[in-house]
Chain A
Amino acid sequence: MIDLIKTMFALITKYKNLLWLGISKTLILGIVGTVVGLLIGLVVGALRAICMKKEPTEKTWIKLLKKIVNMILNIYITIFRGTPMMVQAMIIYFGVYDFGLHWDSFIAGLVVISVNTGAYMAEIIRAGIQSIDKGQEEAARSIGMSDWQTMRYVILPQAIRNSFPSIGNELIVNIKDCCTLSTIMITELFYQAKTIAGSTYKTVPAYMIAAVIYLILTSLAAFIMRKLEKRINHTESNYFASATVVENQEGK
């Protein structure tokens, strides 16, 4: 046990540059993947929620358009949730390469993890939207707000708040799962551990280092998400809040 820890420290000091590089790549992949994935998920999830409900007054061609859009988005979600990210990475990275475009594998990794996360986020957001009381939407429509305005100002803010725990979970999953992107030569944390293990033959200590770092990163992410969640739930309102506060101070 003591020996193991000693070896781990020795490896850490020797390879700290590699490890730092790995950590930074893992974090960038995890964070960018989650943020961009959330943006994709917001658009796709909102679109899907709009497409799945019937507006009483809509015309036939709009109904048809909604069906088609919903089908396309559904295909996207099914494919990216139903295949391993490792396989997606290989196909997308080398697929674009074969197309004659030479692109950096790190960029490819960012694209893959974002699009992959987007599929999961879309379902999280859609479920969040559909859990909002129907009266919220009717009230917004009854004062003349459009479908999109209703979504943007009334439904989505509540849906995001409600699904915040699931969104946070995606960040943690991404920090861990971007290790599968090492298949396209992205030098993230897992890749570095493999390199260290390969050149020193100290396999267990090398991966133990990776495990400890992963644990620290995910715990940190969980902690930050919990803080953010509290903050969101405590912000009583977030839209024009500052404006009315100013107004009231002037009034006094």
Chain B
Amino acid sequence: MEKVIEIKHLAKSFDKLEVLKDINFSVSKGEVVSVIGSSGSGKSTMLRCINLLEMPDSGEIFVNGKNILDGNINQHRKEVGMVFQSFNLFNNMSVIENCMIAQIKVLKRSKEEAIKIAHENLKKVGMDAFADKPSTQLSGGQKQRVAIARALCMDCQVLLFDEPTSALDPVTVQEVLDVMKKLADEGMTMVVVTHEMAFARDVSSRVVFMEKGIIVEEGEPKQLFTSPKSEALQRFLGRFVNQ
């Protein structure tokens, strides 16, 4: 299977705090990988390293076989879409402008083409009816769906999600998860940091469990959730059962 992301011996510290220690893992085309783990285990940092929002201290990261530190950083970033916990839609733009700006400025598409592609992707996430609304007037779930469309407009090879539903109320969580499930079914390669265990279990093809900066366990969701090997994962899952 063609590898979209390959991480080798990734390590990262903030000052003296070792956040990531020797991370190794890879994601194949079409895979949906859920990353779970307790707070502070380094999930976000790992995701941000893949998009070079953080600079790795050591180790190598390959996206589509290319070392991400070779060549133009903006070239690399546009191939890797990122969806944030806090949505981060551009507040000074309408919904469709959010989806157009990078198409025009980074991919150098014509305005007509950008509009067409923006509408296509907004339809995909069910937000086309809001195309001309200011992005600040949307609900959280709507914002997050637009943020997904914005990333899709770049024709990225892989989408990274950092707790995309943590800032949402329980009712709107589902509308975002549905969009993500749809993307997964269409064969999009995704890495999802999440606390939604149901999503990790039902949608993802593989689950990665991180603890204190290392990958402790990974495997098929069913197997991982029903018979966790490591004590750390047992403890982690136990907390979810108790809730």
List B contacts of A133 (CB < 8 A): 86, 88
CB of A153 within 8 A of chain B? yes
Contact between B106 and A143, CB atoms less than 8 A apart: yes
**In the assembled complex, which residues on chain B have CB atoms less than 8 Å from the CB atom of A138?**
53, 82, 84, 88
In the complex, the answer to whether A245 meets B75 with C-beta atoms within 8 Å is no
Contacts of B151 in A (CB 8 A): 142-143
Q: Of B96-104, B178-186, B204-212, which stretch is located at the interface?
A: B96-104
Contact mask for chain A residues 66-82; partner B; CB cutoff 8 A; 1 contact, 0 none: 00000000000000000
A136 proximal to B (CB < 8 A): yes
B81–A237 CB distance below 8 A: no
From A86-94, A144-152, A177-185, A196-204, give the one contacting chain B: A144-152
Contacting pair A239 B54 (CB below 8 A): no
Give A138 to B84 CA distance when docked, in angstroms. Answer: 9
Total interface residues on B, CB under 8 Å, equals 43
Give Cα A120 to B84, complex, Å: 35
Q: Is the CB of B97 within 8 A of A237?
A: yes
A154 touching B90 in the complex, CB below 8 Å, given contacts A237-B97, A244-B132: yes
Q: Which of A194-252 contact B (CB under 8 A)?
A: 236-241, 243-245, 247-248
Asked whether A244 lies within 8 Å of B77 as measured between CB atoms, the reply is: no
- Among A142, A154, A158, A248, contact of B81 (Cβ-Cβ < 8 Å): A142
Interchain nearest-CB distance for A137 vs B (Å):
9
By a CB distance below 8 angstroms, the chain B residues around A243 are: 111, 115
**Cβ contacts under 8 Å, A240 to chain B:** 94, 96-97, 100-101, 111
Q: Which chain B positions have C-beta within 8 A of A236? A: 94, 133-134, 137
Q: How far is the CA of A222 from the CA of B220 in the complex (A)?
A: 66
* Nearest CB in chain B to that of A237: its residue: B94
Which interface residue of B51, B93, B133 has the most chain A CB atoms within 10 A? Answer: B93
Interchain CB contact under 8 A, B105 and A145: yes
B53 contacts A141, C-beta separation under 8 Å: yes
Contact A144 B106 (CB under 8 A): yes
Residue of A144, A238, A248 touching B92 (CB-CB under 8 A): A238
Are B89 and A139 closer than 8 Å at their CB atoms? yes
- The reply to whether the CB of B74 lies closer than 8 angstroms to some CB of chain A is yes
Q: What 3 pairs across the A-B complex have the smallest Cβ distances?
A: A144-B78, A56-B55, A139-B88
Interface residues of B, Cβ cutoff 8 Å to A: 51-55, 69, 73-75, 77-78, 80-82, 84, 86-94, 96-97, 100-102, 105-106, 111, 115, 131-135, 137, 147, 150-151, 154
**Interchain residue pairs with CB less than 8 A apart (26):** A56-B54, A57-B52, A133-B86, A135-B88, A139-B150, A140-B90, A142-B80, A143-B81, A143-B106, A143-B150, A144-B74, A144-B77, A144-B154, A149-B105, A149-B106, A153-B101, A154-B101, A158-B92, A237-B134, A238-B92, A239-B101, A240-B100, A241-B94, A241-B132, A244-B96, A247-B115
A57-B69, A144-B106, A240-B100 known, 19 other contacts, Cβ within 8 Å = A57-B52, A57-B55, A136-B91, A138-B88, A139-B88, A141-B77, A142-B80, A143-B154, A149-B106, A153-B101, A158-B92, A236-B133, A237-B92, A237-B97, A237-B134, A239-B97, A240-B101, A241-B94, A243-B111
